Amino acid sequence: MSEHLVRNAHLPLLKIHKDGICLQDVQLENNVVSIGRGSSNQVRLGDLTVSRNHARLLWREDKRCYYLEELQSTNGVFLNDRRLQGTAMLVDGDSFRVGVYNITFIDRQAEERWETTMMEALRAKKAMNQPGDSTRLPAFTKRAILLREENGGVHLLISDRVTLGKSSNADIKVNGIGVEKEQAVIARRGKRFYLLNNNDLPNVTINGRPVSNAQLEFNDRIEIGNSRFIFREI
């Protein structure tokens, strides 16, 4: 596979900051983008808090997005203030820390891509139920999606109540130890979305913190059982 991505001119980029000052913008043109102190890295960061080979970004063509991977560095990588373990999908607006550097991931076409994905999924959903009316979006104030990290799936949050669990009747199927048939609910209240845990076990988290009832914010990372999701309002 070629390292060069054949895509449009609106490429994602990294905005690199140190001590609150933007040092540079780096356009992402390759399938693999290495970050570190060593001279062979595409993104070279000179401070000694950065390992020679610290992290890398990997383009996944099947999911049409970049993943961030930590490379067993001395000081680790912190994605949205949480230490990264292994890899994680990057979405527009994510911020990660490498040594003393704060790096923001900007995907200029993210909103257009999610809007297109949402329209296609909604048309397919309506075509199954109402073949004659498959082109109009429902008239609700806020539109949101869950991005499923393990397979790049997109779940539409259309109704006021979306259930997550291992039941075949759950709107979004989730498996894992301790996961109940209806483990959690995402509820829309006016212009806000909330995640509700239906039991007292700490197996529902937002950004690594167990929750029972919490308002969802842009780019929140939700973990339930074996599944990880990213919440996006679009």
Per residue in 13-55, pLDDT (tens digit) is 999 999 999 999 999 989 999 999 999 999 999 999 999 999 9
Confidence band of 5 (pLDDT split at 50, 70, 90): very low
Residue 96 has pLDDT above 90, yes or no: yes
CB 107 within 8 A of CB 14: no
Query: Percentage of residues in the chain with pLDDT exceeding 70?
Result: 82
Confidence band of 1 (pLDDT split at 50, 70, 90): very low
User: What residues pair up with 188 in beta bridges, in sequence order?
Assistant: 193
If you average pLDDT over residues 46-67, what whole number do you get?
92
Within 10 angstroms of residue 32's Cβ, the number of other Cβ atoms is 13
Within 10 angstroms of residue 2's Cβ, the number of other Cβ atoms is 7
**Range 193-229 burial, b when 16+ CB lie within 10 A, else e:** bebbbbeeeebbbbbeeebeebebeebbbbbbbebbb
* Alpha helix stretches (DSSP H) within the chain: 110-129
Torsion 135-157-60-30 (CA) sign: positive
pLDDT value for 158:
80
CB 140 within 8 A of CB 132: no
pLDDT value for 67:
94
Residue 171 has pLDDT above 60, yes or no: yes
Query: Percentage of residues in the chain with pLDDT exceeding 90?
Result: 55
pLDDT value for 130:
52
Residue 134 has pLDDT above 60, yes or no: no
If you average pLDDT over residues 121-139, what whole number do you get?
54
Confidence band of 219 (pLDDT split at 50, 70, 90): confident
Residues 188, 39: Cα–Cα separation, whole Å? 49
Residue 2 has pLDDT above 50, yes or no: no
> What are the structure tokens assigned to 129, written together?
């139920």
